A and B are shown apart, each in its own frame.
Chain A
Amino acid sequence: GDSVTQMEGPVTLSEEAFLTINCTYTATGYPSLFWYVQYPGEGLQLLLKATKADDKGSNKGFEATYRKETTSFHLEKGSVQVSDSAVYFCALRGAGSYQLTFGKGTKLSVIP
C-alpha cells in the first residue's frame, strides 16, 4: 500500500537558518503530494502541493519539488522565522484515490 516516510524530529533551528525536511513516498502510479502544517492548538493547514512529476509547489517562502525518480518531496525554506515553528506533515493521495496517507510529522522549533 501507499506510505510516506519523513525525517524524524524534532528539528531545532536558529532564525534565518535554511530548512530542509525530507519526505519520501511509496505509491503506485502518479500520486499527488502535499505538505500540511499544524500550528500549536490548531488543525492542519495545506501549505503546498504538487500533482505531477517535476512540479514545484510553493507558499509563504516554502518550496517542494515532486521528484518521481527519487520518489521524494522534500520541503525547503531559505530563511526560517520563529513563526514557522509548527509540525509539518507530508502526505500523498494516490492516483484515482480520495484517501490521504500522511507521514508521522516533523516538529520544527525556530529559536530567536
Chain B
Amino acid sequence: ETGVTQTPRHLVMGMTNKKSLKCEQHLGHNAMYWYKQSAKKPLELMFVYNFKEQTENNSVPSRFSPECPNSSHLFLHLHTLQPEDSALYLCASSQVKGNEQYFGPGTRLTVT
C-alpha cells in the first residue's frame, strides 16, 4: 500500500449505530487531518493531529470522536449521527503540521 488509505470506502449507518472510519498513511508523515466534504460546501477541517497529539478541533459535535494511536493511523468514531452528517469524509497527512497535505480517497457516509 502506498499513500493514504481509508476504509471503508462506503458506509451506511442508522442514527443509533456506532461505527468507525479508519485512515492509514504510508508516507512517514507526522501530521494527520480529518475533513468533511458536503455537497456544494467548501471542505471543512474537523480535526488535526500532530505527533499523535490533537491540536485542532474546529467546533465539531461530540458525536464525532477522533483517535490517533500513532503517527500512521487515524480513526474517526461515530455515534448517534444525524442525516445531515452524510458526506464524504477525507483523511489527509503531511510531513509536519503545515506542509503539503496528501489526501486519501475518502469514506462516503450515508446516515439513514
Contacts and interface: CB of A to CB of B under 8 A. Distances in A.
Interface of A: 4, 34, 36, 41-46, 49, 89, 93, 97-105
Contacts, number: 44
Contacts of B42: 4, 101-105
Interface stretch (B65-73, B74-82, B100-108): B100-108
A98 B48 CA distance: 9
Contacts of A105: 42
B103 A45 contact: yes
Given A41-B105, A42-B105, A99-B56, A49 B100 contact: yes
A97 B98 contact: yes
Given A44-B90, A45-B103, A98-B48, 11 more contacts: A34-B100, A36-B103, A43-B92, A43-B106, A44-B43, A98-B31, A98-B98, A99-B56, A100-B101, A104-B40, A105-B42
Interface of B: 4, 6, 31, 40-43, 45, 48, 56, 90, 92, 97-98, 100-106
Contact of B43 (A45, A49, A102): A102
Contacts of B41: 104
A41 B6 CA distance: 13
Contacts of A34: 100
B8 to A, nearest CB: 14
Nearest to A6: B42
